[in-house]
Amino acid sequence: MDKFRMIFQFFQSNQESFMNGICGIMALASTQMYSAFDFNCPCLPHYNLAYGLGILLVPPFILFLLGFVLNNNISMLAEEWRRPQGQRGKDPAVLRYMFCSMAQRAMIAPAVWVSVTLLDGKCITCAFCTSVPVESLGNASHPRLSQGEIQRVLARIPCKEIYNGQQLIANEVAIRYLRCISQALGWSFVLLMTTLAFLVRSLRPCFSQAAFLKSRYWSHYIDIERKLFDETCAEHARSFAKVCIQQFFEGMSTDLVAARCHLPRKAPADAGEAAEKLLGITDQGTMNMALKSWHRCKPPLHLHPPALPTGNGWAGGEQPPMYPSAPRRETAAYYSWV
């Protein structure tokens, strides 16, 4: 249990670790889904190709979309992309980094599905059983069989119980031939994905490390800023609700006192603290205006100390130049009574 707790805490440490854990779980789920899937080839010439390629490509597309749906950054990316310009510019490099990061994680489960499917070989066997070279693997001179009849016989290769073309080509020979091709494609796909991942990880710092660090930093900043804004809004809503409830009960107690129902009245200790957390926003319209202002014109990413109110012409927080004071000259006067 301690190991699982440590793993769970690691996944919760930051957004990237959490999404990596989600993608790993989806990759394991994709293998379990394929192992539990009951593959039934239709064994018909015009349906085998559609069924085999559908099982090979449609579930990875669904898993890819599911990876985007489970990623919490997709809403943040859409919000950052669609928001008005306002007082803060939108950096296309940061948006591209966020999209590429989500796409890379979302591609893990589909890649696992395609690899497992190709290595198993059932989809390729079902899809391309009618393309088996009968001339080199079987008896192409089988009498009284038209091309359409040969296609119908070959389409039954994945279905051993109904296959009746042993005189044309042996079922085991055709299945082994197609499975070898499928496994070759599977290992080639795994090698290609591994090589691409290695090149991306190893060669990216050699070309654009500074731009990558900048995009990664501001991507994390947007995520942290959104979380802090949500936490601040939740804290303000809690304080607003607390003050509203306290005012409601104070009004009810005042009405009861006016009705000559003397009740013990005690001021709440945290009323002042809750009122301070409202930051001057004490009505619904002002809060809605603040939320719209945050969306339309976010503050610029420039931290500066507040300007000091001075009346001598120095503005913008600048300090007046300091000149060395000139030494004072002292004079002495002597008076004589002559």
Q: What confidence tens digit (pLDDT) does each residue in 175-202 have?
A: 999 999 999 999 999 999 999 988 887 8
pLDDT digits (tens, 9 = 90+) for 6-23: 655 555 555 566 666 777
CA-CA distance, 324 to 157, in Å (whole number)? 100
- In this structure, of 59-63, 212-216, 263-267, the range with the lowest mean pLDDT score is 263-267
Look at residues 66, 72, 91, 70 and name the one whose alpha carbon lies nearest to residue 81. Answer: 91
pTM: 0.71
Tell me the C-alpha distance between 110 and 176, whole Å.
26
Phi, psi values for residue 156, rounded to 5°: -95, 10
Map out the domains of the chain as residue ranges. Answer: 1-207, 209-259
Indicate the range of 7-11, 76-80, 290-294, 326-330 predicted with least confidence: 326-330
Percent of the chain residues past pLDDT 70, beyond the cut: 76
Are the C-beta atoms of 213 and 150 separated by less than 8 Å? no
- 52-71: pLDDT as tens digits: 999 999 999 999 998 888 87
280: left (phi over 0), alpha (psi -120 to 50) or beta: left
Higher pLDDT pick, 34 / 321: 34
Residue 24, classified by CB atoms within 10 Å of its CB into exposed (0-12), middle (13-18) or buried (19+), is middle
* DSSP character at residue 148: H
Q: What pLDDT was estimated at residue 191?
A: 95
- 8-17, 273-282, 307-316: range with highest mean pLDDT: 273-282
Strand ranges for the chain from DSSP E? none
* pLDDT over 60 (residue 327): no
The most confident of the ranges 28-42, 55-69, 80-94 is 55-69
- For the beta carbon of residue 304, count every other beta carbon within 10 angstroms: 8
Contact by Cβ (8 Å): 283, 289: no
Q: What is the mean pLDDT of residues 248-252?
A: 81
Closest CA to 294 of 305, 286, 284, 304: 286
Question: Which long-range contacts does 284-288 make (Cβ < 8 Å, 24+ apart)?
Answer: 287/236, 287/240
At 20 the pLDDT is 67
Confidence of residue 259 (pLDDT cuts 50, 70, 90): low
* C-alpha distance from residue 175 to each of 119, 127, 136, 165, 180 (Å): 13, 12, 14, 13, 9
How does residue 162 score in pLDDT terms, banded at 50, 70 and 90? confident
Lowest mean pLDDT among 79-83, 144-148, 180-184, 199-203: 144-148
